[in-house]
Amino acid sequence: MSPREEVVPEFEFESYYGRPILKQPTWKTPDIPLYFFLGGLAGASAVLAEGAAATGLPGLERIARLAAAGGATAGTVALVHDLGRPERFLNMLRVLRPTSPLSVGTFILAPFGTLSGIAAASHLTGRLPRIGRLAGVGAAALGPPLATYTAGLIANTAVPAWHEGHRELPFVFGGSGAAAAGGLAMVFTPLNQAAPARRTALAGAAIELAATETMQRRMGFVGEPYRQGRSGRLMKVAQATTAAAAAATLLLGSRSRAVSVLAGAASVAGSVFTRFGVFEAGMASAGDPKYTVVPQRRRLDSREPTTA
């Protein structure tokens, strides 16, 4: 640990008894970060399932279909459980509001859950194969936005660590979702059908790691919660796990079934850590007034250099 050249100075700023300006999100852990993970897993798995169906890889198709339907179902349960009034969850369908990624996301998740469920049921029972396949295609189309809209959801808030990362967060979440889907498929698919799963996991990991790095560099001071404290530790564990999983996949993933299982599991775990890390970074960011005051004060001062 050598001291870095550029030492970040302690910012002087005023506040009301050190109290946060923003309200911390009331979203519960593990419900919401878990949903972010499950949505990413399900969305990317639906794409994987359709690819497997199109290229004739039944082993890969099976686990991917199950992950898509299971992830969407479990994710929906987590979302409803997080509501302050769970019995009113259907009120989400009253309006469709393009200014609310949560509203738009509801109209992605609801059909995705239905279609991926039909596709999985058809695949398992062998009944209505055409309808099942058609549903699978629909789920695959909705899968990528399902994996990334949650990033837009948290970015469309006043929380500095989330809002200021709005350009990169969808890539972090999308990559993380692909890493999870590929990883899970690697665990359950025989080696001779797992090549697309490995590629999905590798490409997902690469996108996630690159986007996370870019985001942190660009955000500077506001990105501090991604490097410090509990959220910083979670992000470091996430990056290390994802990178290790990718390295193992690249070196031995196609040769050893044991390595494929372990690396796949690690890839899934890395995705879970990433979601919890990003979630906790937002909580820390909202809980400290400096992340709200300092950037706004700088913006003001640069606009009007002299104040009365």
Partner 1 sequence: MGRLSGRLDDVTGDAGYDDHPPRMGFFTDTSVCIGCKACEVACKEWNSVPDDGYLLTGMSYDNTESLGASTWRHVAFIEKPTAPTSSSDVTVDLGMPGNGPPAAGQDQTTESGADGMRWLMSSDVCKHCTHAACLDVCPTGSLFRTEFGTVVVQEDICNGCGYCVPACPYGVIDLREDDGRAFKCTLCYDRLKEGQTPACAQACPTESIQFGELSELRQRADNRLAELRDNGVDVARLYGRDPEDGVGGDGAFFLLLDEPEVYGLPPDPVVTTHDLGSIWKSVGAGAGAVAALGVAAFVGRHR
Residues 36, 40, 42: CA angle, nearest 5 degrees: 115
Of 11, 88, 218, 228, the one binding partner 1 by CB under 8 A: 88
Of 30, 110, 137, 156, the one binding partner 1 by CB under 8 A: 156
Answer yes or no whether residue 223 interacts with partner 1 by CB under 8 A.
no
**Residue window 91-120: x/- pattern of binding to partner 1, with contact defined by CB under 8 A:** xx-xx-xxxxxxx--x--------------
| CB nearer partner 1, residue 22 or residue 250 | 22
Answer yes or no whether residue 12 interacts with partner 1 by CB under 8 A.
no
Give yes or no for a contact between 270 and 242, defined as CB atoms under 8 angstroms apart: yes
Type of residue found at 92: M
Of 4, 19, 130, 255, the one binding partner 1 by CB under 8 A: 19
Beta-carbon count within 10 A of 29 CB: 12
Beta carbons within 8 Å of 128's beta carbon, 6+ residues apart: 122
Residues 45-84 that bind partner 1 (CB under 8 A): 47-48, 50-52, 54-55, 57, 82-84
**Residue window 196-215: x/- pattern of binding to partner 1, with contact defined by CB under 8 A:** xx-xx--xx--x--------
Of 33, 43, 70, 264, the one binding partner 1 by CB under 8 A: 43
Picking from 147, 288, 166, the residue whose alpha carbon sits closest to that of residue 224 is 288
Picking from 181, 118, 119, the residue whose alpha carbon sits closest to that of residue 147 is 181
**Residue window 163-192: x/- pattern of binding to partner 1, with contact defined by CB under 8 A:** x--xxxxxx-xxx-xx---x--------xx
Of 195, 243, 247, 250, the one binding partner 1 by CB under 8 A: 195
For tokens 């302690």, name the residue: 10
| CB nearer partner 1, residue 50 or residue 224 | 50
Stretch that binds partner 1, among 125-133, 138-146, 238-246, 271-279 (CB under 8 A): 138-146
Beta-carbon count within 10 A of 162 CB: 25
| CB nearer partner 1, residue 86 or residue 127 | 86
CA gap 234, 277 in Å, rounded: 5
CA gap 197, 181 in Å, rounded: 8
Answer yes or no whether residue 16 interacts with partner 1 by CB under 8 A.
yes
Answer yes or no whether residue 135 interacts with partner 1 by CB under 8 A.
no
Taking phi over 0 as left and psi of -120 to 50 as alpha, with beta for the rest, 190 belongs to beta
* Cα→Cα distances 51→93, 120, 188, 193, Å: 31, 14, 17, 12
Of 2, 255, 299, 306, the one binding partner 1 by CB under 8 A: 299
